[in-house]
Amino acid sequence: MTHDQPPILTVTVNPALDLSARVDAMMPGPKLRLSAPLVEPGGGGVNVARAILELGGQVTAWVALGGASGAQHRALMEAQGLDLRVFDTPGDTRATWAIMDAEGQQFRLQLPGPDWTDAQGRAALDDICAMAQGLVVLSGSQPPGLAARFAQDLARRLGPGRLVVDISGAALRQLIDHPDPAARPLLLRLDQAEAEHVAGHALPQLDDTHTLAQGLVARGVAEHVCLARGAKGAVLAGPGGTWDCRPPLVPVVSKIGAGDSFTGAFTLALARGQPASEALRAGTAAAAGAVMTEGSALCRAADVARIAPDCALTRLAP
């Protein structure tokens, strides 16, 4: 099997400077002294691009950046060797914080990002479509003001079988509540909390997740739907059936980056011509590898290669 692949384009409309640090204890009142600070370029699509690059894939990161923090974000991405397409936006690029206390609890704080206008949204769609050659990944939150239909508008412009989506908030609700046959993504990924929110209840059993994934595919939400199950792996439903993939037990250092690592590895496997079931295995191994790294660091290629053979892939339904 060749590893040649058309360049993947990742799209980040609401990037962030990811700041992580440690603290003895999180409490109200006194000044809290942080240690071991780390600043990394972040945002869903940026992290997906970083994971693809780490795994040896060809990728360009389309990123909306603005202000001094945007310039810092760009410098950090360039230092990591990412090929960039920068879309200029007014206002400063936001920041996020991940603070770990001495007991291993992680506190995650996020700013909303700068406001967008309808004109900016249309210009972004034009620019993304002009850049896209192969698969496109739209990942992360949307900034205030960007239309909830942005993912569907992008899927329609790109055409069938092109767009991988891992989004949240109103944009995710639009995609699920108002499926559009002419704007159906190739893949929709939901993390465990999002899947349970869509279901309206907890999903403790594999059959529960399996049923939800199949139902979303049947409704035309996406060609494939992938639902994460935390440490139990993920379920994938699509035209080729429904699959479950479970990783081996690994030491958990930080859960940040697991979803983006999954999406990066999954998309890269598809771009390299692997079937969706094997892409599920690749994504599951990458997610397991990501929880083994500090702060907002992503998966490491060596860990993914070691974990992948031990990921148990099971067909649940034809």
- List residues with catalytic annotation: 260
Question: Distance between CA atoms of 317 and 311, rounded to whole angstroms?
Answer: 19
Instruction: Report CA-CA distances (Å) from 38 to 24, 41, 43, 98.
Output: 17, 10, 15, 10
Q: Three-class SS string for the chain?
A: CCCCCCCEEEEECCCEEEEEEECCCCCCCCCCCCEEEEEEEECHHHHHHHHHHHCCCCEEEEEEECHHHHHHHHHHHHHCCCEEEEEECCCCCEEEEEEECCCCCEEEEECCCCCCCHHHHHHHHHHHHHHCCCCEEEEECCCCCCCCCHHHHHHHHHCCCCEEEEECHHHHHHHHHCCCHHHCCCEEEECHHHHHHHHCCCCCCHHHHHHHHHHHHHCCCCCEEEEECHHHCEEEEECCEEEEEECCCCCCCCCCCHHHHHHHHHHHHHHCCCCHHHHHHHHHHHHHHHCCCCCCCCCCHHHHHHHHHHCEEEEEEC
**Taking a C-beta distance cutoff of 8 angstroms, is the pair 309, 285 a contact?**
no
Angle between helices 192-199 and 206-218 (to 10 degrees): 70
Q: Which tokens hold the place of 233? A: 């792996």
Question: Distance between CA atoms of 35 and 255, rounded to whole angstroms?
Answer: 19
